[in-house]
Amino acid sequence: MRAIPDAAQPRRGYSLPDAIVFALTAAGAVLMLLPFAWMVSTSLKSPAEVFAYPVIWIPRQPMWSNYAQAFGIAGFDRMFFNSVFIATASVTLNLLTSSLAGFAFARLRFRGRDILFALYLATLMIPGQVTLIPVFILIRALGWYDSYAALIAPSAVSVFSAFLLRQFFRSIPPDLDEAARIDGAGSLRIWWQIALPLARPALATVAVLSFLGSWNDFLWPLIVIHSRDLWTIPLGLSMFQGQYAVQWHLLMAGTTIAVLPVLLLYAVGQKWIVSATAVATRGNA
Amino acid sequence: MNNHARFTAFRWRSDQQWEGYVFLLPSLIGLFVFSLLPVLFSLGISLHEWDLLTPPVFVGLKNFRNLFTQDLIFSEVAANTVFFCVAIVPLQMALSLLLALALTRRLPGAPLFRAIYYMPVVTTIVAAAMIFQWVFDRNYGLFSSVVWGVGSWLNAPLAPPDWFNNGFWARWAVVILTLWKNSGFTTVIFMAGLQAIPRVLYEAAAIDGAGRWQSFRHVTLPMLSPTIFFLAIILIIGAFQLFGESYVMTGGGPGYATMTVVQYIYQSAFSYFRMGKGAALSWVLFVAIFALTLAQWQLQRKWVHYESNT
Amino acid sequence: MTHKSLWIRALAAGLALMVAASACSVRPVEPAAQPGSDQPAPAAAEKVVVRWSVWGSAEELASHQAVADAYMAAHPNVTINIEHTPWDGYHDRLKTLVAAGDPGALADVIFLGQDYNRYAESGVLEPLDDWIAKTNYDLSDYWPTVIERARVNGKIYGLQRDLDLRLLYYNKAMFDKAGAAYPNENWTWDDWAEAARELTIIEPNGRIAQQGIGMETGKWSMLLAQTNGGYLDDPRNPSRCALEDANSLEAVTFFAGLIRDKAAMTPADLKQIGGDAAAFQQGRVAMIVQNSSRAPTFNAAGMDYDVAPIPIPKGGARVNNVGGARFVMNSAARNKEAAWAFLSWLQGREGGQAIYTRRGDMFPILRSVANSDDFLKLPIKPDNRAAFVVEASSVRLFTFGDFPEYDEMNDLIIEPNLQRIWGGEAEAEATVRDICQKVNEFLKQNGYPRP
C-alpha cells in the first residue's frame, strides 16, 4: 500500500498548536546550528579572541589567513585529493558489492540464502574494535600497508549497505521480475536494468553513507598510513594538535574544511536519504 | 497471507541456485577476509597472552575468567556502558519521534529544519567532540555563558555545572553530545515511517471518534512499531559501541565516569599490549550485543505490528 | 543485448576494478623510501640516504629540519630524509610497525620518547656500545645518571638528547598586576600557595577568570618526589603502594587543597584548554611547571615571562627529572655506518646539541654545552638561565614506576582515582587508601615483587 504524501493534502492555514510547534522546532534548529556557528566563527578568530569572555561571535577582523595557514602547514590540497579519491573508490566498490548481495538476498531463491543472510546480520553486530588488529596484520600480509588499497579494500564491502538495499529490493513488486523473466531476461539483467534504476534513491543513500564513513574515518588511516602523501583530512587535522597545545583557531579552520564538503554533499543528497530509508525500514526487518 | 507465510511458501529455484552465490561472491569474499576471518583470529588471540613482541602463550579461558573475577575496573566500564545505553536509547527515541511528528506537520520551512537537524550526523565525531569540549567549558563555554547571561538578567546567582570535573555531569555531557550528533538520523527514519502510514487509517480513527492522543496511541504507534524495533536494535548496538564521543571529549574521565567498554578494549590492546585481554573484552561485548539483539528479535512478535498484505 | 554478453561485460568490469585496486596499492612516490627496494646504491654516486623519524609541532619540526640541513651541508653525499609524525600517534605508529614485523619500514635513526626498554629487549634497537668504542665517542660529558639510565641489560641502545628539566614558568605581567613578588629559588610551598591564591581571580558569578597554578597530570607528582614520597616503595620491582604513606599524603593534600581553593587548575580543565602551555600562553594561569620545549612558542607569542626553580616543601628536597627522549638506531638500518655517523653528530658538542641549544629547544644533555655561552648567554627568553643550573644540580633518577605494567596501573587505577580527589568528588585520605588497596592487588596479579 503506498502512502499519500502529506504535501498532496489541501491545507487550511496554520493553527495555534502549529505556531507553538514551529517555534519549538525553530529554537531546536538554532541549538543544532550554534556549535557549527562557533566552529566557523572560531576559525576566523585571532588566538586572543578564541578565549575571550563574553563570547565573541563575530571576530573584529576575520582572519582568513587561518585557512591559508591551515592549508600551508598541513598541505591540505594533497589530503583533500586523497580523501576524495579514497572515498569515491570506496563508494563505487561498496555500491557494486552491496547491490549484488542485496539483490540476491531479496530477489533470488537459492538454498542457504536465509542462513547466509543471518550470517550477514550477525557480522553487523561485530564491534569494529574486534577486527582492528587482525585486519591490520592481514593488510600487511597482503602487502597493502601504506597504500590507498589499505584504506579502500576494507570499506569495499558493507553489510549495512547490503542490508539496506535488500530491504529496498524487497519492496519492488515481484510482478516486475516475473514479467521480465517471461521475456527471457536473466537475473543479472534484471539487477542491472530493473532493480538498479528503481533503487536509485536507495543507492544514493548507500553512496552518501559510505562516503561519509570513509571521509570521517580517523583511526584506521592512522594505523595503516605512514606516508605523508597518503594522509587523509582527519589525519591532517591531527597535525594541528601538536605535542602540547591546541590551537583552536587553526583547528577549527581545519575542521571547517573537513566538515564543509560533507555538508554540501548532504545538501545535495538529502532527499534520497529520506525516501530510501522509508522503504528500507519498512521492508519487514 | 502474511509475509512470514509467504516467505516460507516459495520454492527454491534451481536456475537461481548458482546465480545467488555468484551475486554474493564479491561481498562474501570481503566479509570473509575483513570480518569473519579476523573475528576468528581475534577469538584465537583471546585465548592467549600476547604482547605482539614475544610469541603468544596459550592460556585457555584465563583472560575471560580474570575479567569477571579479578579485573579492577571492568565492572566500572560495564556499568558506564549500561548507563549510556539506558540514557541515550529512550531519550534519542523520544526526541526524534517528537521532532519527526513536528516536521511532518507541513510547517513552513520543514525541509530546511530537517536538513539542519541532520547536519551533525554527517560531521566527523572528532570534530563534533572538539566543538562540544568548548560548548561545555565551564569558564568560556557556550552553555555557561547562557546560564550566566540568564542569571544576570534574572538577577539570580545561577551556577552552571562543572561538566568535566564532575562525573555525573561529564556523563550527561557525553549523552548530550550523542543526542546532538545522532538524533537527526533517527528523526529521518521516523519521518519516513510516519509518512508511510496510510491516511485512511487516521480518517477511519476520526470517524470512530478518536482524539489526537487516541489516534497516536492506536494508529501511529502500532504502525511505527517496525521502525521503533529497527531503531531500538541500531541504537542499542550504537550505545554499546560508544567510543569516540567520550574518548575525544572527556578522555573517559573524570575518574572512570565516561570510560566505555570499547575504550577499555582500545587501551588494553593498543596502550598496554594486552592483546589477549583486549580480544576477550571485545568478545564479551560482542556476546552481550548479540544476546540483547536476539532477545529483542524474540520479543518483537509481542509488540511489533507488521502491516498485512491482504 | 543477450543475457550472456551482460555477464561478460560484468566480468570485464570486475577485472578492470581489480586491476585498478592493485594499481592503487602501489605507492605513488619516492620508491627510495619503500622497504624492500633497498638495492645498494651505485658506487659512482656514493650517495647515502639516512631516514630519520621525529615528532613535533611546526616549530619543533623547523629545528629538526635545521639540524638535518646543517648535517647535509657538512656531508654533501648524505641525504637526511625526515619522517615527521605528530606526537599523537607517533609512538602508536612505531608500535604497529614493530608489531607487524617489518623493521625495514622503520627509519634508520629514530627519536624515541617511549617504550625504550621494550624495544631494546626485543632486538628492535641496535646496541651502540661497539660503535661508541670504535669511534671513541665521549660519554663522560653527559650529566650523571643519564648513561646509567640508558643501559638495558648492561648495553646502551640510545643516547638521550636533552635533560627534560622542569622549571616554574611564571607570567610576569600577572604578578605585576597582582602586586606579587616574583618567585625565587628560596620559595617554599607556603610561598607558592600564597602567591597562587593571590593570582586566582574568581568573578562574582563564580566564573574563574584566572588561576594561580597549572600542573598537568604527571607533573604534580614532582611534589611527591620533593616530600620523598611516591607511588611505590620500589619503582623497578615494587612490593607495595606508598601513596598512603604520610609524606606522600602531604603532597596529595597540598595539591588537593590548591585545587579546592581554585588556586590550581584541575587536570580536566587543563586537558580542556589543551594543556598547561596553552593555558599559560592564553593567560588563564599564572604559573606552570614545564620543560624548555615550549619556550620557542612562548617567545613567538611575545609573552612576558621568566622561570624560577620549583618551590620545595619545608624540610623537603629539590629534585628534578633526569628523563628525556633518545635518539636510537634501528637494528635493521640499511647503512649503519652512516646512521651512527649521523647519530653521533646529533649528540655531538658542535653538531645537533649546539643547534638545538641555540634554538632554545632544550637543556643540553652534554655538560660542556650547558656550561657554554651557547646555553648560558642565549639571547632569548627565559632570561633566568641560572635557574636551570640550580635545577640541573638536583637531577636524580626519580621515577614512580619503571616496569612494563606501570603505565597501565597509572592510567587505569591511580590517575582516575586522583581525578576524583581533584574534582572534589572524593576525600583525599580515604581515596588514597582505596588506590593503594587496588594498586597492591594489581601488583599481586602481575607477579610483583619479582624474586
Chain A nearest-CA residue for C17 = A93
Task: State whether residue C155 is helix, strand or coil.
Answer: strand
Angstrom CA distances, C336 to A13, C39, C51, C216, stand at 83, 15, 11, 39
Nearest to A6 among B33, B119, B195 (CB): B195
Cβ–Cβ gap B192/A281 under 8 Å: yes
Our CA-based measurement puts residue C238 at a distance from the nearest CA of chain A, in whole angstroms, of: 31
Contact B226, B220 (CB under 8 A): no
Query: How many Cα atoms within 13 Å fall on the side-chain side of residue A253?
Result: 27
Q: What is the pLDDT of residues C173-219, one digit of tens each?
A: 999 999 999 999 899 999 999 999 999 999 888 888 899 999 987 78
In this predicted structure, what is the pLDDT of residue A285?
35
Chain A nearest-CA residue for C92 = A223
Q: What is the CATH number of the domain that holds A253?
A: 1.10.3720.10
Instruction: Give the range of the structural domain holding residue A58, as residue numbers without chain letter.
Output: 14-63
Q: Are residues C286 and C333 in the same domain?
A: no
Least confident residue range of B7-11, C123-127, C362-366: B7-11
Contact A215, A262 (CB under 8 A): yes
Query: Domain map of chain B by residue range?
Result: 74-258
Tell whether the model's pLDDT for residue A196 goes beyond 80.
yes
Tell me, yes or no, if B240 comes closer than 8 A to chain A by beta carbon.
yes
Q: Are residues C232 and C285 in the same domain?
A: yes
Task: Take residue C136 and report the three cell numbers written for it.
Answer: 671513541
pLDDT above 90 covers what percent of chain C?
Answer: 45
Tell me, yes or no, if B193 comes closer than 8 A to chain A by beta carbon.
yes
Tell me, yes or no, if B126 comes closer than 8 A to chain A by beta carbon.
yes
Q: What is the CATH number of the domain that holds C259?
A: 3.40.190.10
Check whether the bond before A54 is cis (ω within 30° of 0): yes
The reply to whether A116 falls in a domain is yes
Average pLDDT over residues C72-97: 87
Residue where the block lists cell 594522509: A231
In this predicted structure, what is the pLDDT of residue B200?
87
Disruptive mutation site among A30, A212, A281, A282 for chain B (greatest number of B CBs within 10 Å): A281
The reply to whether A38 falls in a domain is yes
Task: Take residue A40 and report the three cell numbers written for it.
Answer: 566557523
Average pLDDT over residues C32-57: 63
Residue where the block lists cell 616549530: C59
End-to-end CA, chain B? 6
In this predicted structure, what is the pLDDT of residue A278?
55
Say how far apart CA A71 and CA C381 lie, in whole Å: 30
Q: Are residues A125 and A253 in the same domain?
A: yes
Residues 63-122 of chain B with CB under 8 A from chain C are 66, 70, 72-73
Tell me, yes or no, if C208 comes closer than 8 A to chain B by beta carbon.
yes
Contact B119, A36 (CB under 8 A): yes
Q: Are residues C310 and C332 in the same domain?
A: no
Nearest to C380 by CA among C360, C400, C361: C360
Average pLDDT over residues A244-260: 76
Task: Take residue A115 and report the three cell numbers written for it.
Answer: 542462513
Q: Are residues C153 and C272 in the same domain?
A: no
Cβ–Cβ gap B122/A212 under 8 Å: yes
Tell me, yes or no, if B149 comes closer than 8 A to chain C by beta carbon.
no
Q: What is the pLDDT of residues C224-270, one digit of tens each?
A: 888 888 888 888 889 999 999 998 999 999 999 999 999 999 888 88
Contact C306, C185 (CB under 8 A): no
In this predicted structure, what is the pLDDT of residue A74?
56
Least confident residue range of A242-246, B149-153, C146-150, C308-312: A242-246
Contact C442, C417 (CB under 8 A): no
In this predicted structure, what is the pLDDT of residue B121?
84
Cβ–Cβ gap B254/C416 under 8 Å: yes
Q: Are residues C289 and C436 in the same domain?
A: yes
Q: Are residues A198 and A278 in the same domain?
A: yes
Tell me, yes or no, if C136 comes closer than 8 A to chain B by beta carbon.
no
The reply to whether C14 falls in a domain is no
The reply to whether A172 falls in a domain is yes
Tell whether the model's pLDDT for residue A104 goes beyond 60.
yes
Nearest to C25 among A51, A144, A246 (CB): A144
Say how far apart CA A38 and CA A59 lie, in whole Å: 11
Give me the number of domains chain A comprises: 2
B contacts of C425 (beta carbons < 8 Å)? 166-167, 254-255
In this predicted structure, what is the pLDDT of residue C310?
92
Q: Are residues A59 and A78 in the same domain?
A: no
In this predicted structure, what is the pLDDT of residue A275?
58
Task: State whether residue A54 is helix, strand or coil.
Answer: coil
Tell whether the model's pLDDT for residue C24 goes beyond 60.
no
The count of other CB atoms within 10 Å of the CB of residue B273 is 24
Tell whether the model's pLDDT for residue A88 goes beyond 60.
yes
End-to-end CA, chain C? 80
Q: Are residues C224 and C298 in the same domain?
A: yes
Number of inter-chain CB pairs under 8 A, B vs C: 90
Nearest to C100 among A137, A152, A247 (CB): A137
Alpha helices of B104-198 — where are they, by DSSP H?
110-118, 125-135, 142-154, 167-195
Cβ–Cβ gap C268/B253 under 8 Å: yes
* Mean pLDDT across chain C: 84
The architecture (CATH level 2) of B74-258 comes to: Orthogonal Bundle (1.10)
Q: Are residues A21 and A162 in the same domain?
A: no
Q: Are residues A108 and A183 in the same domain?
A: yes
Chain C nearest-CA residue for A134 = C100
Question: Which secondary structure element, helix H or strand E, spans residue B95, and what is its range?
Answer: helix B74-103
Tell whether the model's pLDDT for residue A92 goes beyond 90.
yes
Greater pLDDT, A258 or C422: C422
Average pLDDT over residues C393-403: 74
Give me the number of domains chain C comprises: 2
Q: Are residues C196 and C175 in the same domain?
A: yes
Say how far apart CA A120 and CA A167 lie, in whole Å: 13
Say how far apart CA B255 and CA B170 lie, in whole Å: 10
Low-confidence ranges of chain B (pLDDT < 70): 1-16, 306-310
Tell whether the model's pLDDT for residue C71 goes beyond 70.
yes
Q: What confidence category does residue C397 fall into, taking pLDDT thresholds of 50, 70 and 90?
A: low
Least confident residue range of A73-82, A150-159, B119-128: A73-82
Instruction: Give the range of the structural domain holding residue C122, as residue numbers without chain letter.
Output: 43-164+323-370
**Backbone region of residue B12 per phi and psi (left: phi > 0; alpha: psi in -120 to 50; beta: other values):** beta
Disruptive mutation site among B12, B28, B35 for chain A (greatest number of A CBs within 10 Å): B35
Tell me, yes or no, if B134 comes closer than 8 A to chain A by beta carbon.
yes
In this predicted structure, what is the pLDDT of residue A243?
38
Instruction: Give the predicted TM-score (pTM) of the model.
Output: 0.77
The answer, yes or no, to whether ipTM is higher than 0.85 is: no
* Mean pLDDT across chain A: 79
Task: Take residue B82 and report the three cell numbers written for it.
Answer: 549500561
Our CA-based measurement puts residue A23 at a distance from the nearest CA of chain C, in whole angstroms, of: 31
Q: Are residues A44 and A172 in the same domain?
A: no
Tell me, yes or no, if B141 comes closer than 8 A to chain C by beta carbon.
no
Query: Which of C370, C387, C406 delimits the end of a domain?
Result: C370
Amino acid residing at A178: E
Say how far apart CA B1 and CA B9 lie, in whole Å: 10
Q: What confidence category does residue C5 fall into, taking pLDDT thresholds of 50, 70 and 90?
A: very low
How would you class B132 by CB atoms within 10 Å of its CB: exposed for 0-12, middle for 13-18, buried for 19 or more? buried
The reply to whether C80 falls in a domain is yes
Q: What confidence category does residue A280 fall into, taking pLDDT thresholds of 50, 70 and 90?
A: low
Nearest to C262 by CA among C194, C203, C211, C193: C211
Q: Are residues A166 and A119 in the same domain?
A: yes
Average pLDDT over residues A14-30: 86
